[in-house]
């Protein structure tokens, strides 16, 4: 798993008939700054657009591991299902999976040099 940035933009027109989509509000999610720049440029060029606020959102993407690093399955009943925890961090956070069959602890995404994970006590 890894953190990826996406941008949410809301474009507002003065009247629905002045919008290409026939609505006064259009919400879009884009995956790149190039896509965001394109939407902002189009909004600025349209004299009927009254606002186009946008915000960056970080989303955790990728498949969650289904096995520990020693090969034990995390799927199944309570005897094999991993113990899950979450470590808040300035990067967005880390999923912590503890295997019930061995001492393996997996942190996803991997903690990097600029991370500041904080363990939470349950």
- What element of type H or E holds 5? strand 2-13
Q: Which residue has the tokens 């004299």?
A: 47
Q: Please tell me whether the overall predicted TM-score, pTM, comes out greater than 0.95 for this model.
A: no
Q: Is the peptide bond before 107 cis (omega within 30 degrees of 0)?
A: no
Write out pLDDT tens, residues 43-94.
Answer: 999 999 999 999 998 888 888 888 899 999 888 777 777 888 888 988 888 8
Note the pLDDT of residue 121.
58
What the block records as the tokens of 101 is 């069959």
Whole-angstrom distance, CA of residue 62 vs CA of residue 64: 7
Q: Is the pLDDT of residue 27 over 80?
A: yes
Burial class of residue 111, CB neighbours in 10 A (0-12, 13-18, 19+): middle
Percent of the chain surpassing pLDDT 90 = 46
Note the pLDDT of residue 120.
64
């Amino acid at each position: 798993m890894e953190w990826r940035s996406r941008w949410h933009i809301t474009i507002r027109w003065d009247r629905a008939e002045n919008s290409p989509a026939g609505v006064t509000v259009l919400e879009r999610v884009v995956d790149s700054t190039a896509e965001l720049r394109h939407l902002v440029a189009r909004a600025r060029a349209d004299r009927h657009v009254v606002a186009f606020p946008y915000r960056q959102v970080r989303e955790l993407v990728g498949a969650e591991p289904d096995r520990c690093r020693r090969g034990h399955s995390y799927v199944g009943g309570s005897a094999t299902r991993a113990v899950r925890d979450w470590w808040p961090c300035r990067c967005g956070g880390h999923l912590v999976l503890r295997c019930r069959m061995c001492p393996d602890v997996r942190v996803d995404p991997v903690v990097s040099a600029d991370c500041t994970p904080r363990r939470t006590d349950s």
